[in-house]
Structure 1
Amino acid sequence: MQIDATDRKILRELQQDAGRSLDDIARAVGSSKTPVWTRIRKLREAGIIGPQVVIADPDKLGFEACFFVLIRTSEHDSDWQQRFLNAVRARPEVMEAHRLAGDIDYILKVRVPNARAYDVFYQSLISEVKVHNVTALLSMEEIKATTALPV
């Protein structure tokens, strides 16, 4: 699906707050409600727009510690990788997981209440899969966080 300038305006508005009324979004993009709804439906059908979710405030919910976990492994076979992926995907503390190019094999973004909770997470992970080296970096301050793409 090709997206045009109006689709991009709609996407920007939805990324700011998808809970706004269709009338508000249509007014913001300079269109009427029906054409905007049709475009949103087509963007969903094309898979450009995924599920709508609520972004909760981790600090207000007690998840004040954010760790970036750098993982190196000496294992690279498909069996190890599948066990690792299953372990990471099963843990709700893992907000993001990425396989990297370079010296570090994986990076995880982990949200927990405190350092003790991180240690419980860490001990559980290494009991399930063998890793060569783990480095945990505590985020002291979140300077910028967004889910919006620059469309």
Structure 2
Amino acid sequence: MEIDEIDRKILRALRRDGRLSNTRLAELVGLSTTPCWNRVRALEEAGMIEGYTALLSQKALGYPDTVIIEVTLDRHDDDIFEKFGQALAELPEVIEAYLLTGDYDYLIKVAVAGTAGYEEFLRRKLYKLPGLKHSRSTFVLRCLKHSVSVEP
């Protein structure tokens, strides 16, 4: 699907505030409500808009710290990648997880409550995952940019 500048305006507005009413969105992008609604539906159907969500505050929920963990597995076969990936996805502290190329197999972003919370996560959860060989961790000092999608 080709998108034009009006579609980009719609996407930018919804990226900033996914709770905009169709009426307000139409005002912001210079359309009447029906064409605006039709464009939003078309963008959803084309997969440009994958969904809508609420952004929750880690700090307010008691997990003020973020740790980036690089993980190496003990072997590289389909079975261990599948088992490790499934087990990792079930951990509520894991915010993001990526399968990588290079020196490490996975990059994981984890929300924790300080060093004690991180130690508990390591000992009770991460170190018990199948296939883990080595991990290297870095505490985040400050987030300089946080975005859930690219700017259209």
Q: After the TM superposition, which segments of 4 or more aligned residues of structure 1 sit over 3 Å from their partners?
A: none
Find the aligned partners of 1:57 and 1:125 in 2 and give their Cα distance.
23
Find the aligned partners of 1:42 and 1:113 in 2 and give their Cα distance.
42
Question: Once the two structures are superposed, what CA deviation does each residue of 1:70-124 show, in whole Å capped at 9, x if it has no partner?
Answer: 1122310111111100111101111101111211211000012222222222222
Q: Where do 5+ consecutive residues of structure 2 fail to align?
A: none
Offset of residue 41 of structure 1: 0.7
Tell me the amino acid that sits aligned with residue 66 of structure 1: T
Q: 1:83 to 1:105 in 2, by over 3 A?
A: same
Find the aligned partners of 2:34 and 2:149 in 1 and give their Cα distance.
24
Q: Where do 5+ consecutive residues of structure 1 fail to align?
A: none
Q: Secondary structure at the match of 2:132?
A: coil
The normalised TM-score by structure 2 is 0.93
The normalised TM-score by structure 1 is 0.93
Find the aligned partners of 1:102 and 1:90 in 2 and give their Cα distance.
25
After superposition, the CA RMSD in angstroms is 1.3
Partner of 1:129: 130
Say yes or no: does 1:72 pair with 2:72: yes
Tell me the amino acid that sits aligned with residue 136 of structure 2: T
Find the aligned partners of 1:135 and 1:58 in 2 and give their Cα distance.
22
Partner of 2:144: 143
Aligned residues: 151
Tell me the amino acid that sits aligned with residue 120 of structure 1: E
* Percentage of matched positions with identical amino acids: 33
